[in-house]
Structure 1
C-alpha cells in the first residue's frame, strides 16, 4: 500500500504538470489518477454527510427539528390520529419496529440520504472539476445553468411531495373505515416517503428536458403547441403510474404541477424560437438559396492586428486540442 506522503507528492507533481500546460492536456495515466482522487474525495464527503445525518436523526439543530421528527411528521398529523394504533401507556406518535435492526437501518438510510443531499454541492463539484477541463467556456456556462435549475426543480418537487404525503396517507388508510386500524412499520413507511420525494423530484426535471431539447433544435415550439393536448394527457397518465401511493391527492398534485411547468417550458420555447427567427431574418439567412454560402460576419476585434486568416486557422484547429492524451507510459 502506497504511503500517504507519496500519494500527496504524486498529487503535487501532477498539479505542477497540469499548471505547466496552458491547454490543460494530461496523459491517460494522469487522468486515471485524477479520476481516482475525485472519486475518493466524493466518497469522503458523502461519508461525512452520512455521519452528520446519523447524528441529526435524533438531535435537534436549534430551531430545526430532528431528522426523525421531520420524517414522521406526515404520519403524526392530528387528522390521522383516529386511524393510528395507540398502545396502552404509549405517549406521542411512533412507528412500529418488527425486526431487531430495522430502526438501525432506517436511521442509517435516512441519515445517509439527508447528508448526501445537504453536501451535494461539495461532492458534485468533484465531478465538475474532473470534466470541466474538457469543456469550452460556452459549454461550461450551459452546464452550470442546467445543473442549477435542475437542483431547484428537484427541491421544489420534493417539497411538494412532502406537503401532499399527509393528505395521501389520510385517503389511503381511511378506505377501511372503522374495520381497520393502522400501525405502519418503520421500513415500509420510510421507503414510501423516500420514494415519493424521489419521484416528485425527478418528475419536475421533465420540463427542463423539454427546454434543453428546444435549445438544441430537436423540438420546436410549433411541434410542442401541436401536441400540447396529447402531452398533457400523457403527463396525467404518467402521474397516475409514477406515484407509489396510488391515491388521488398525490396523482392530481403531481399532474397539475407538471402541467404548469410544461406550459412554462412551451412558452420559453416560443420565446426562444421567436428570437432565433428574428436573428435569421436580421442576418439574411432566410433569403439565401440552398446552394448559397451562409454570410458569416468576421470582425477581428480581438486579434490586435493579426492576420484574420491565421486567426481563423487557429480557431479551426481548436477542437482538436480538447482531448489530447499522451502515451500512458
Structure 2
C-alpha cells in the first residue's frame, strides 16, 4: 500500500471506530441514571460506614455547569467501554494489514480475548473500590467533614478501572507475540521470578493499602491470567514444533546448518596455478 492508501485506510477505520463510540454513547445517555447508580455504589457504601462512625462524607457538585460535565464524562467513558469490541477490532485491523490469510483470524481472536479480559480487570477494580476509598478517606481528621467533588471522584474511579483493565491485557500481548514468533514460552518460564515480581508490583501500585492480604487478593487474578497465557504459549510452541517436524524443518541447530552450508576447502586448492605464472 502507498502512503495515500494507508491514510485512506486509517480514515476509514477511524470513522467506523467513531461511529461505534457514538452509538455506545447514545445507549449510555439513555441509561444514564442506571450507570450513575453503579458508579456511585462504592461511594455510598463508604458514606454509610462513615455515618455509623459519626463522620461526614458527602459527594458534592460545585458549579452551575458541572452536573452537565459529569453526565457528559460518564456518557463518553461508557460509550468507549460499550464500543470496545468495535474500535479495538478496527485498531487491530489497521495495525496488522500484512498478515497472511490464516493469520487474519488473529484479529477476531484478539478482540474476543481482549474485551472480556479488560472488563474482568475493570470488574476486579470495581470490587475493590470501596476498600480503596475507605483507606484514603480514613486519613480525614476528627470533626472534619469530607466533601468530595463528584468530578474528582469520577476521575479517580476511571483511572483505577482503566489501570486494572490494561493490566489484564499484558498477558494477551505475550500470547500475540508468541503467535507472531517473537516470544517463546521457554523465555517466560525461565523468567518466572520477574513475572511474579511484576504481578506483585502491579498489585501494590493498584491497591495502595498497607494490608498485604488485600495486595495478594488483587495479585491473584493477575497471576492466574499470566499462568494461563504462559500455558497457551507453551501449547502453541508444541504445535509449532510438531508441524516443523512433520515438514522436516527444525531438525538442525543454527550452528549445525551453518557448518553444513560452509564449503570444505582442500589445502591443495590454495596452491598457485600455472595460469597465474603466465599472467605475471
Q: Report the 3-state secondary structure (helix = DSSP H, G, I; strand = E; otherwise coil) of the residue aligned with 2:59.
A: coil
Native 8 Å contact 1:49 1:118 kept in 2: yes
Corresponding position of 2:202: 238
Corresponding position of 2:264: none
Pair 1:85-2:56 in alignment? yes
Q: Deviation at 1:30?
A: 6.8
Q: Deviation at 1:181?
A: 4.0
Native 8 Å contact 1:51 1:112 kept in 2: no
Q: Matched residues in 1 for 2:224 and 2:166: separation? A: 16
Q: Which stretch shifts more, 41-50 or 158-167? A: 41-50
Structure holding more helix per residue: 2
Q: Matched residues in 1 for 2:194 and 2:12: separation? A: 47
Corresponding position of 2:24: 49
Q: Matched residues in 2 for 1:36 and 1:123: separation? A: 13
Q: Matched residues in 1 for 2:146 and 2:71: separation? A: 22
Q: Matched residues in 1 for 2:193 and 2:93: separation? A: 42
Q: Matched residues in 2 for 1:275 and 1:129: separation? A: 25
Corresponding position of 1:9: none
Aligned residues: 252
Pair 1:213-2:177 in alignment? yes
Native 8 Å contact 1:200 1:254 kept in 2: no
Q: Matched residues in 2 for 1:202 and 1:180: separation? A: 36
Q: Deviation at 1:108?
A: 0.2
Pair 1:174-2:138 in alignment? yes
Question: Structure 1 residues 216 and 48 mapped into 2: Cα distance closer, same or farther (>3 Å)?
Answer: closer
Q: 1:1-329 alignment to 2 at 5 Å?
A: 32=7, 35-58=10-33, 66-77=34-45, 78-82=48-52, 85=56, 95-124=59-88, 135-176=99-140, 178-241=142-205, 243=206, 246-248=208-210, 251-288=215-252, 289-291=256-258
Q: Matched residues in 1 for 2:6 and 2:172: separation? A: 32
Q: Deviation at 1:80?
A: 4.7
Which runs of 5 or more residues in structure 1 are unaligned?
1-24, 59-65, 87-93, 294-329
Native 8 Å contact 2:140 2:146 kept in 1: no
Higher relative contact order (CA 8 A, sep 6+): 1
